[in-house]
Structures are given as structure tokens and as C-alpha cells.
Structure 1
Amino acid sequence: MDKEYDLNYIIEMKKEHPCHLSKQWKIIRMGADIRIKCLGCGASVLMPRVKFEKKLKKVISKGEE
């Protein structure tokens, strides 16, 4: 299953963030590593692209350009 995502996209991860407010994240940096920001509490997480793709559930919406 090929999931298309890019900078500023809103995505949903398989597991909920420990803040228990949201499974939704915004992609704020892309490269070999991807940084995502929790839309519930504002915390950001940096992870390798391979790990990110395993944890990604679905793309919710495209972000603003």
C-alpha cells in the first residue's frame, strides 16, 4: 500500500500520542528523517522515514502551501 504524503499534510498514526488528545499529526520536516507535530499537545517527534512509514495509518488532508 503506497501512501502519499508531503510537508504540512495532516496524517493519522496507528497509535495515540501519550497526551491522549490526538492520533493526528502534522508533517513539519521531511528528509531522511521526518518530524511530525502532535495536533493535541504540540509536541514534536523526529523519526527515520522507514519507521514513520510503518506507523502511518492514513493521510487525512493536504496542508496549506
Structure 2
Amino acid sequence: MKTYGLKDIVEMKKQHPCGTNRWEIIRMGMDIRIKCGNCGHSVMLPRREFEKKMKRVLVSAQDTETKA
């Protein structure tokens, strides 16, 4: 299972129409809201659908907090 958390930057399988593939997780619960790293558009997906469409975590917010 892929592990991810709030404020993580993730890569999705399909590219956003604006041309980027970087998304930030801005809300977690039954649904997950992600925000495009380029244009700022946000999308809400059910958790199951998000897990299918997510490719990998690019930047973990937890790693960033421990370094600071």
C-alpha cells in the first residue's frame, strides 16, 4: 500500500490539462482534495479512486518537517 499524508506532493498517472503532473494533498478524509501544482485548480476524489490514480509520492511533508 502506498503511504501518503496531508501536504505531500504526489504524481498522478494522468497529466492535468495545464501540463503538470504534480499535485498537493490539501484535505484528507473519506474524500481527498488535491491541488494542481501549476495552475492551482483543486479536485476532490474518493479515497479509493485517488489510490488507484496516484503513481507515487514525490515530496513527503513529513520528511520536510523533520529536516526543518
- Asked if TM exceeds 0.5, the reply is yes
Bigger helix fraction: 2
| Aligned match for 1:60, one of 58, 61, 68 | 58
Mapped partners of 2:32, 2:15: distance in 1 = 18
The alignment yields a C-alpha RMSD, in angstroms, of: 1.0
How many residues are paired up?
Answer: 63
Greater Rg over alpha carbons, structure: 2
Q: Which residue of 1 aligns with 2:45?
A: 47
Moved over 3 A (4+): none
1:5-16 matches, within 5 Å, as: 5-16=4-15
TM-score by length of structure 1 reads: 0.91
Match for 1:5: what amino acid?
Y
1:36 is the counterpart of 2:37: no
TM-score by length of structure 2 reads: 0.87
1:3 is the counterpart of 2:14: no
Mapped partners of 1:9, 1:40: distance in 2 = 15
For residue 61 of structure 1, report the CA deviation from its aligned partner.
1.0
Mapped partners of 1:40, 1:61: distance in 2 = 15
